[in-house]
Structure 1
């Protein structure tokens, strides 16, 4: 009974969500999807400051008759991003391809004979078994089991684009935490690109760009919302039934 109540409330909750989503979609008929307002990434829901293992801090000192300061990575200043609020360009290059083939085979054959010989067999033949039967071959058990499994995966993904990102944190060791978001609306579809992670200032090129392959803890998301995305998604009822139905 307790499980039935849980299922009932889950279905009711899904229906309410479906109604809210349907009302929102109905209000957007004939309108283009709204773009998200420009916001401070640190004030968005779900934002959490990044914490990474840091080395011991070294104190700065100058050598005699020298303008060089310990800890510097370059002699001349440049315009590459290095402070909170600075902007750099992330070159997103994702080329992922995987192919797996797996075949499993299992076979087993088992055969057993049960009988009695000698004096015991002769006694059984005389006292217990009908004419024509022999105790030396009372029973024969045969068992055969064969299993064959085959599976394959062939996946290929490729994404090449650029997005401007803003420095949201400067870690104690000098590494930069960056986050970038881009929205492009074409007719009635909005494409969204989100990039985030930790980079080294040394990996930033002279033109203030960095390859996505050099981003540690990289988080790259590419998707969309609008009429095409809505058509491609199963209805809320179908998604709820896929989760709740045990078969």
Structure 2
């Protein structure tokens, strides 16, 4: 009985994502519960600075946030930068192979101390030791395969520095949700980037991100129709045909 209850509970939990948008648009993720918001509300601690001289407050070369010469690139926990995703990959692989083999064997024993003649007297009609074994075999194999794939994706998303590693590498993470009618489009990106790879316009290309994890998908009524039901997915895994 417990097994049936466990299976029923798993089905209910798996279907909660679809139940969320029955008769209404999909719910958006609360922005205040994301790691990006936590990083922005809890920035890293800065070392205390000594008292500034009065004339330094009027200088254009100060390092304040509103300074005209301050580096605007993201460099600390809680800073925001733009990730540019422009994927245009194409791969074509073509393989072919041919193999052939033939073999022929023939064994005969017309005379061997008179033994073949004695044996032939007891053999069925038409059988003779003069052509004891005659075998011929041949095989051939031909195979070919071709893979053609192209991926193209152009996106821009704002990401937040959620951590700064001891070696200075920045750990970024960003998410974006766009709801159109009853369909939600979700974009997430995360990875590690060096501060020097961030451009002057505070942008970084996806190919500069180490360990990049980019996800672009959605949820909603259209996605539910396109996805097979859980029972069908389980049957595809279990059934051998």
Provide TM-score, normalisation by structure 2.
Answer: 0.76
Aligned partner of 1:207 among 201, 205, 226: 201
Q: Is the 8 A contact 2:80 2:159 kept in 1?
A: yes
Q: Is the 8 A contact 2:108 2:130 kept in 1?
A: yes
Matches within 5 A, 1:189-208: 189-208=183-202
Please state how far the C-alpha of 1:30 moved relative to its aligned partner. 2.3
What does residue range 226-241 of structure 1 map to in structure 2 within 5 Å?
Answer: 226-241=220-235
Look up the match of 1:103: 96
Q: Give the whole-Å Cα distance in 1 for the aligned partners of 2:92 and 2:206.
A: 23
Structure 1 CA distance for aligned equivalents of residues 80 and 91 of structure 2:
34
Structure 2 residue matching 1:34: 3-state secondary structure? coil
Contact 1:197 1:218 in 2 (8 A): yes
1:216 aligns with 2:210: yes
> How far apart are the structure 1 equivalents of 2:172 and 2:195?
11
**Any idea what SS the aligned residue of 1:213 has?**
helix
SS in structure 2 at match of 1:118: coil
> CA separation in 2, counterparts of 1:143 and 1:15?
59
Give the superposed CA RMSD.
Answer: 2.6
Distance 1:133 1:174 in 2: 89
Task: Give the SS at the match of 2:112.
Answer: helix
| Residue of structure 1 in register with 2:139 after alignment | 145
Cα 1:152–1:195, aligned 2, differ >3 Å: closer, same or farther?
Answer: same
| Greater mean alpha carbon deviation, residues 110-119 or residues 24-33 | 24-33
The separation in 2 between residues aligned to 1:239 and 1:30, in whole angstroms, is: 25
* Aligned residue among 34, 52, 71 for 1:78: 71
Whether contact under 8 Å (2:74, 2:80) holds in the other structure is yes
Given that 2:36 and 2:160 are in contact with CA atoms closer than 8 Å, whether structure 1 keeps it comes out as no
Q: 1:55 corresponds to which residue? A: none
Task: Check the 8 A contact 2:110/2:129 in 1, yes or no.
Answer: yes
3-state SS in 2 of match to 1:210: strand
Any gaps of 5 or more consecutive residues in structure 1?
1-8, 45-75
Change (3 A) 1:150 1:12: farther
What corresponds to 1:118 in structure 2? Answer: 111
* 8 A Cα contact 1:14 1:236, kept in partner: no
State which structure, 1 or 2, has the greater radius of gyration over its C-alpha atoms: 2
Corresponding residue pairs, total: 206
TM-score scaled by structure 1?
Answer: 0.74
Task: Summarize deviations over 1:152-209 as a string: whole Å, max 9, x none.
Answer: 1111110001000000111112111101111111111111111111111111111111
1:85 aligns to what SS in structure 2?
Answer: coil
Verify the 8 A CA contact 2:110 2:130 in the aligned structure 1: yes
